[in-house]
Structure 1
Amino acid sequence: MAYYWVNLGVSYKEVRDFKFLWAPSHTYTASGEKTVKAGWGHVPSIKKNDVIICHENKRIIYVAQALADAYPAPRPESRTYDEWKKEGNKVDVNLIVLERPVSTDEFKHHSIERFNDKCEPKLFTVDGNAAQNYMVAIPNSVASIVLSSIDCTHLGQLKQPSKFSSGTKRRKKRKAIKGGVRSARSNARIGQGAFRDEVLDIWNNTCPVTKVALPELLIASHIVSWVLSDDDEKVDGYNGFPFVPNVDKLFDKGLISFADDGSLLISEHLSVATLNALGIREDTKIAGLTEEHIFYLAKHRNTYGF
């Protein structure tokens, strides 16, 4: 599954009413040379189940998910005529309309500082506004930051195909989840319910970094963030750590991670002085990692560039 950002201008009503995205396949320069604008190039690459974050006027207003691969299609009749832009590519989508649009102010500074260069083309300009490109391919790190700012009741509508193949090592089948699977996944988003119980049980009610052993002070933090996890991973207790709040925040923002041997990894965007001020030593090493934890940690490191 890949993630994209689309800038909707006057077409936001068309997207809402007809549930598709469309962009020209090419245009022509003043000299008659055929060219493809940077913001159009990703549209034909969209695959079924890819997620597209829809932006309009400094707000995230929709989250779209491709119902099928993108395909060639003529310009929609609802579009203003332009003789050079008849041919294009279309994506039919399932559209989640946000009841409360999310301001880009909630996440743009974090995204610009650390991940803007990893977006293709760049997502934000130097002054913090969304760049004027129709579509941007965004890394998982940016997708996680943006989607985590959206109410989980909306994101529960997204389909997350299982990433595990028959040859992938999995845990033993867990017990039936009380209250139903949907409720468990929603509760897992906020570190509650069966997910929290299992995380704390695996770690004996103890934060592996600080050794704090008061459950009421611990947050069940996903290793692979809830928004990037498939349905099984969302509720898998091995996809979590019981962290005190300061460690949870650093880990959730990708400012720290852990090597397979448990050694603490520190982002270049986090100073050792700040780490120490939060009560964490730079030579911290956690014990008790299983193969399942290591599987998820590899994804966390990859997402945040460790």
Structure 2
Amino acid sequence: MKEKSSNNINPNMTEQNDINYYWVNIGKSKKEVEEKKFLWAPAYTYLKDGKTKTINAGWKHVPEVKKGDILFCQFDKKIHFIAIATTNAYKNEKPEDITYENWKKEGYKIEVDLIILETPINRDIFKEEFKLFYNEQCSPKLFTKTEGITQQYLIYLPKGAGALILDYIGDKSIDIYDRVNENKSRKKPDIRQREAIVKARVGQGIFREEVLNLWNNTCPVTKVKNKELLIASHIVSWQLSNDEEKLDKYNGLPLTPNIDKLFDKGFISFSDEGELLIHKSFDKNIIKQLGIDINTKIEGLKSNHKFYLQRHREQYNF
């Protein structure tokens, strides 16, 4: 593969970055969302004087939703549906049989394709990680100071937050990937490429083979040379990579399980020169207890790696 110039590529210009992520508190409308497959919110409400229009913080981003965007639908502290927008948000009067009778008539509608989770995802399993890296970037903030979920209707999520939640979805991620591609009118990968992409999600297949070969089957941090122990870890997560990046050997590092976990969770990263970076929120003593030299510098990085490492550092605020 021809090397990319990391100086000439804008990390925000990849195909996968045209997807936005949202959290929706569907509340009492859960049944009608499931049956009718749309979301609706008012365009505005009035202040106490009954004359001055104001936009609720939870409605502000509704008009911004585009076809192919992903919305996590939450009810009773759990994500029950993954909704993929099949239309851009458009102006539409409140449906007559909508649950919230006191909402104003003027509003926005989003038609959606639903993936119903057989086992809903409890927000508590990712809450701490979410709060550490992403809560401040949400609009409005998803988690409140009292540890609960904001009562606002729709919340804009940074892309890293969307990827974090999707990682807990498991194999349904493949279904979501297919439906997003369809709604974004992207070229479908052929059968062999799709198989490679699916395997790459869990660090297997041609992606694993090429990553390990590039590094001579050796973890660049611990120097462990044992194929059976190494994990082909994406630098930019599978969820946030386009099809080419999902399979790019330069978007991977062969890491031992402890290093993989630290890197995948954003507790460590690497500079373009290979220097180990430890997140400000993480205890350096734990790194030492794991037998890792905090002054570690990995050797063997290529110019192509820098493009991905920059995005990893940006995602986790290094």
By the TM > 0.5 criterion, same fold?
Answer: yes
CA contact (8 A) 2:28 2:99 kept: no
Secondary structure of the 2:160 match is: helix
Equivalent in the alignment of 2:192: 180
Secondary structure of the 1:215 match is: coil
Pairing partner for 1:246 from 240, 243, 258 = 258
Distance 1:119 1:270 in 2: 22
CA contact (8 A) 2:174 2:198 kept: no
Equivalent in the alignment of 1:107: 126
1:140 lines up with 2:159 in the alignment: yes
Pairing partner for 1:24 from 28, 39, 42 = 42
TM-score scaled by length of structure 2: 0.86
Q: Where do 5+ consecutive residues of structure 2 fail to align?
A: 1-18, 183-188
Equivalent in the alignment of 1:266: 278
Q: Where do 5+ consecutive residues of structure 1 fail to align?
A: 162-175
Q: Aligned partner of 1:79: which letter?
A: I
Equivalent in the alignment of 1:3: 21
Distance 1:186 1:100 in 2: 22
Pairing partner for 1:57 from 68, 72, 76 = 76
Please give the per-residue CA displacement for 1:82-122, whole angstroms capped at 9, x wherever unaligned.
46510111112222111221111210122123322221111
1:291 lines up with 2:291 in the alignment: no
Distance 2:312 2:96 in 1: 44
Equivalent in the alignment of 1:282: 294
CA contact (8 A) 1:152 1:186 kept: no
1:129 lines up with 2:148 in the alignment: yes
Q: Aligned partner of 2:33: which letter?
A: V
Q: Aligned partner of 1:243: which letter?
A: L
Please give the per-residue CA displacement for 1:9-32, whole angstroms capped at 9, x wherever unaligned.
111222222222111100112211
CA RMSD of aligned residues (A): 2.1
Secondary structure of the 2:233 match is: strand
1:152 CA displacement = 2.3
Count of equivalent residues: 292
Secondary structure of the 1:38 match is: coil
Pairing partner for 2:215 from 179, 183, 203 = 203
Equivalent in the alignment of 1:227: 239
- Considering Cα pairs closer than 8 Å and 6+ residues apart, tell me whether 1 or 2 has the greater RCO: 2
Distance 1:271 1:81 in 2: 47
Distance 1:81 1:8 in 2: 11
1:154 CA displacement = 4.1
Distance 1:104 1:155 in 2: 21
Distance 2:316 2:256 in 1: 21
Equivalent in the alignment of 1:170: none
